[in-house]
Structure 1
């Protein structure tokens, strides 16, 4: 079975190469440590910004990338077309900021940053020293980059895709070719055959994990924190869970192509709703609640806890229990719906 997998170029591509391409893509996009600055077009003289103190000026330069213009309409056109985040003009003691609503998140950041400098200028104008100050302290290790949050989630998606597609295609292919019937007459027990199929799928998942971690460490300075080794049994249980999903896809379809498409129909939306490609913090509450029943969400969160967030090994036990329970229920449903013949 292992030789058959590696001889199937399409299976190798979609199980290892395809998800690895996403890791490299996300790693390249988020390889920069610095946050992007707000692009501001300053129209004419803006005394509030021009007269900042040295300390405030340094913070301002870290926050904004400023270009200058004497034409307000042209500056607003730059904002409208996405070439700038905000166009600023000062009218008397009022700062007027023109921004676009096409990027709500960017607009909120721009408004907040500008309001902070306006408030600071108002405080300085009173001549009173500030009463409060603020210090920032990240809760994670400073060596952690953004890509390290994406790596476990992309790995979870790769495992889900490989396990579900492999199980769906294999079961449907065996049923269509009558191999399942022949195996009953073979001098090999059904337990041995099933065990071999499971062992191959789990081995592929562990190879995926090793390749992802190796690629992340080699290309993007990946640093694992906490009891990261607990991700290994978590990956094994996650693989079994998504094999069950693949079995269900094969049980409800009548062809190998249909089984693969059904598995894709289940796994791809699950990846979108499980934080694989983007966080769900800004999603409606009902959608966030729905995501909690998805096994990929628990696999992703469990790996993030032990590989990135520095949580103890016990943090993976809850996700493992959920994945095991989900796999058991789905396997029983698949067994109930399965038919030996496709007709």
Structure 2
């Protein structure tokens, strides 16, 4: 226990005194949270602006939906030219009982949104004209909190990514540096077991991950971003611990075969960056092709992202930790075993 305590304190002091490491562990990923948080802070607040020509019950019903901003034109050709030039996504022209919808196929997202809204409004107006009672009624509700904001999706993903950076780079660069400086050789000759060395380093990594979580959540909770924790949000702590050990194992594997810090840094980047983009850190992985979603399931970051999203945003309980925890533990055991087999005390 004395050796374990001494090693833990020494590693913690080395971590705190390394300003570059502190930057890449805390400031660098936090910059992404701030930038994306500010960019998407008001996402969804703007209405889709469309051109309208004419008046009547359809135009009145469109205005009442609250989803569209109507820009009135007196001439349909002028409004149609606006759509053709890409200035507006669609035009609704009403002439008596005829409703003409013209949209720009180049802006598929807005165009399909407008088509859906206009079609629904026209159907509703037609039903009202016939005075027939509706057979079916629709009640639309979000499964998440009504105050849900983009920051609640951004925080879990970027926090998981920050933990992966800290775990992989911290373990890999430390191992390579210690081997080059003969620190590992001295530790091997000292009356200190490998278990004490490894466990002390894991403890420092876990402490760093918890500190990252506290800093990220504290920044996201500020009024500028407006994060709101839901459900059993504290269940994110076990995921932080398990995620740290999984990425620490990856860092050990990288540090076991790399001989220089530059090589270790390059290998870590090759692993972390593709994993981040394919695991839903910066954009929903559901928008990718099916085969790519299947490939992403082999990455521990994908499962950590899903678990963090479930407990921080969707308000799920312990059941949401079962699959991510099993994957992270299994990944740690397999990669850790491989790293132990190829580990070298000296070059």
Structure 1 length as normaliser, TM-score? 0.88
**Counterpart residue number, 2:22:** 12
Separation in 2, partners of 1:72, 1:13: 57
Q: 1:266 to 1:77 in 2, by over 3 A?
A: farther
- In the TM superposition, what whole-angstrom CA distance separates every residue of 1:259-314 from its partner, at most 9, and x where no partner exists? 11111111111111111111122322111122222111111111222222121223
Does residue 253 of the first structure (1) align with residue 253 of the second (2)? no
Separation in 2, partners of 1:94, 1:334: 68
Separation in 1, partners of 2:124, 2:160: 45
Q: Which runs of 5+ in 2 are unaligned?
A: 1-10
Shift of 1:181: 1.4
- In the TM superposition, what whole-angstrom CA distance separates every residue of 1:222-242 from its partner, at most 9, and x where no partner exists? 322222222112211110000
Separation in 2, partners of 1:223, 1:313: 19
Superposed, 1:238-277 pairs within 5 Å as 238-277=243-282
1:180 aligns with one of 175, 184, 187: 184
Shift of 1:90: 4.5
**Counterpart residue number, 2:233:** 228
Q: 1:180 to 1:110 in 2, by over 3 A?
A: same
Shift of 1:15: 0.7
Does residue 28 of the first structure (1) align with residue 32 of the second (2)? no
Shift of 1:68: 3.4
**Counterpart residue number, 1:45:** 54
- In the TM superposition, what whole-angstrom CA distance separates every residue of 1:188-210 from its partner, at most 9, and x where no partner exists? 43333222211111111000011
Q: CA RMSD in A?
A: 2.5
Superposed, 1:177-326 pairs within 5 Å as 177-219=181-223, 220-326=225-331
Query: Greater shift after overlay, 278-287 or 11-20?
Result: 278-287
Separation in 1, partners of 2:45, 2:105: 20
Separation in 2, partners of 1:192, 1:328: 18
Q: 1:281 to 1:260 in 2, by over 3 A?
A: same
2:153 aligns with one of 137, 149, 153: 149
Does residue 114 of the first structure (1) align with residue 123 of the second (2)? no
Say if 1:175 and 1:341, in contact at 8 Å, map to a contact too: yes
SS of the residue corresponding to residue 262 of structure 1 reads helix
Say if 1:80 and 1:100, in contact at 8 Å, map to a contact too: no
Shift of 1:74: 5.9
Separation in 2, partners of 1:96, 1:307: 41
Separation in 1, partners of 2:322, 2:103: 50
Query: Greater shift after overlay, 108-117 or 28-37?
Result: 28-37
Does residue 97 of the first structure (1) align with residue 106 of the second (2)? no
How many residues end up aligned between the 2 structures?
335
SS of the residue corresponding to residue 184 of structure 1 reads helix
SS of the residue corresponding to residue 189 of structure 2 reads coil
Shift of 1:95: 1.0
SS of the residue corresponding to residue 218 of structure 1 reads coil
Say if 1:86 and 1:100, in contact at 8 Å, map to a contact too: no
Say if 2:89 and 2:111, in contact at 8 Å, map to a contact too: yes
Separation in 2, partners of 1:7, 1:128: 75
Shift of 1:57: 3.4
